[in-house]
Amino acid sequence: MKEIILVKDGELALKGLNRSTFEDILVKNMRRRLSPLGKFAFTKSQSTVMIEPLEEGIDLDEAAGRLTRVFGIAGFSRAAQAPKEMGEILRIAGEYLAPQLMEAASFKVEAKRSDKKFPLKSPQISAELGGYLGEKFPHLRVDVHHPDVIVTVEVRDQWAYIRGNQQKGAGGMPVGSGGRVALLVSGGIDSPVAGWMMAKRGLQLTAVHFASPPYTSPRAEEKVHALLRRVARYAGHISLFVVPFTEIQEQIKDHCPEDLFTLIMRRAMMLLAERIARKEECGALVTGESIGQVASQTLQAIACTDAVAEMPVFRPLIAMDKDEIVALSRRIDTFEISIQPYEDCCTVFTPKHPKTRPQLDAVEKAQALIPLEELMERALAGVKMCRSMRESDSLSCSLKEVLCNES
């Protein structure tokens, strides 16, 4: 009995003439994710991708686990391949689904006959297979509304495929189908979640981190690497640019009004990230800001920050509560890393009473007190580029597992 994996496209099915482009990107992402396990054949047909193992001994449990982290998949199922003969379909269904059906109390059968030359119609296939399984597993009852197991038979051009319950996929769009964005990542809870959400909509990530030694330690940077490796399990390869930010922060502290420290710092971050983003051919910036969460994230403060950026700035968490963000961070396995107590540059020189309703002209006047352009040029000259080691599928990613190269 040959076993394959059937992947359902979901949202991609709504695409028009360019649908095949999205499907090709999805197949490329699945191929890359599964390649360490062995060789697979990928066949696209009717909003479904059939993944067939080409080698003996491939771990399909591990393959299924990896597919749960591929964006663009609505759902998938492991399925048995059967000849298009009703007797064989019945026999293989009884054998293949026995473990699931023995543990279930109810079931129903659905049939999809895309090969119209097959002698039985879909309702007839369902009735015959349902009767056979009811006799073979007499403890089962039929429940067409809330069954424990939905048995599905798909009769296609060459083979019939028999599967049990479908496993939910990651949803969204294939990473790489929507372009590239630059993610400002601090090392806290919010920015990794924001990056994950943008990757879910098909965007590739380039990350920008601001380091302020000696006020921030090397462990803070290692923490960012660890976070990005977790996000990369969904988003694929991520490049990280580390910007030396100490001099700029010290100049702001020495020459600018204290209540505007954070705003001027964030404006400088936006300008620096935008320069890197343009060089890396990114189309937008992404931050983990949520409206009203802190003083620099009020409506007026965000307006002052945005005024300095020419690129669009996406804030996928903007209307989310902190509890919702934390729940997502736990789901993608970044929370425990995010809460490690290593200070990032956003916590350096924090004003006691930051301005919550700043005026743009006052912020611009304060910013003019420092030679920001000159400071930025020096910072950009010292940028370090660190490449994540592709997507890491290890759940025990060490903070020390970092690959860095000076740019």
pLDDT recorded at residue 17: 85
pLDDT recorded at residue 387: 67
- Could you say which of 114, 143, 171 is where a domain stops? 171
Same domain, 150 and 271: no
Distance separating alpha carbons of residues 354 and 358, to the nearest angstrom: 9
What six digits make up the tokens of 67? Answer: 């597919």
Structural domain containing residue 17: 2-171
pLDDT recorded at residue 406: 35
> Which pLDDT tens digit goes with each residue over 86-124?
999 999 999 999 999 999 999 999 999 999 999 999 999
Same domain, 142 and 228: no
Same domain, 290 and 199: yes
Q: Is 384 helix (H, G, I), strand (E, B) or coil?
A: strand
Which range, of 15-24, 50-59, 82-91, 341-350, averages the lowest pLDDT?
341-350
pTM of structure: 0.90
Same domain, 50 and 136: yes
pLDDT at 373 over 80: yes
Same domain, 295 and 379: yes
CATH of the domain at 57: 3.30.2130.30
> Which pLDDT tens digit goes with each residue over 148-168?
999 999 999 889 999 999 999
pLDDT at 388 over 60: no
Same domain, 70 and 113: yes
Q: Which carries the bigger pLDDT value, residue 296 or residue 177? A: 177
Same domain, 215 and 123: no
CATH of the domain at 190: 3.40.50.620
Same domain, 193 and 331: yes
Distance separating alpha carbons of residues 112 and 159, to the nearest angstrom: 12
Same domain, 280 and 372: yes
Which range, of 23-32, 323-332, 334-343, averages the lowest pLDDT?
334-343
pLDDT recorded at residue 350: 80
Nearest partner of 363 among 259, 290, 293, judged by Cα: 259
- Could you say which of 143, 171, 199 is where a domain stops? 171
Summary mean pLDDT of the chain: 91
pLDDT at 397 over 60: no
Distance separating alpha carbons of residues 217 and 79, to the nearest angstrom: 50
pLDDT recorded at residue 398: 38
- Could you say which of 128, 147, 171 is where a domain stops? 171
pLDDT recorded at residue 45: 85
Long-range residue pairs from 216-220, CB within 8 A, at least 24 positions apart, any chain? 216/342, 216/343, 216/344, 216/345, 216/348, 217/342, 217/343, 219/340, 219/342, 219/399, 220/187, 220/342, 220/343, 220/344
What six digits make up the tokens of 104? Answer: 């279930």
> Which pLDDT tens digit goes with each residue over 302-322?
999 999 999 999 999 999 999
Long-range residue pairs from 247-254, CB within 8 A, at least 24 positions apart, any chain? 247/375, 247/378, 247/379, 248/370, 248/372, 248/375, 248/376, 248/379, 249/212, 249/215, 249/345, 249/348, 249/349, 251/370, 251/371, 251/375, 252/349, 252/370, 253/349
> Which pLDDT tens digit goes with each residue over 42-77?
999 888 999 999 999 999 999 999 999 999 999 999
What are the backbone dihedrals phi and psi of residue 92, each rounded to the nearest 5 degrees, phi first? -70, -35
Percent of the chain clearing pLDDT 90 (strictly above):
80
Diameter of the chain by CA atoms? 84
Q: Is 35 helix (H, G, I), strand (E, B) or coil?
A: helix
pLDDT recorded at residue 391: 55
Distance separating alpha carbons of residues 75 and 168, to the nearest angstrom: 4
Same domain, 160 and 237: no
Same domain, 353 and 251: yes
Q: How many domains does the chain have?
A: 2
pLDDT tier at 402, thresholds 50, 70, 90: very low
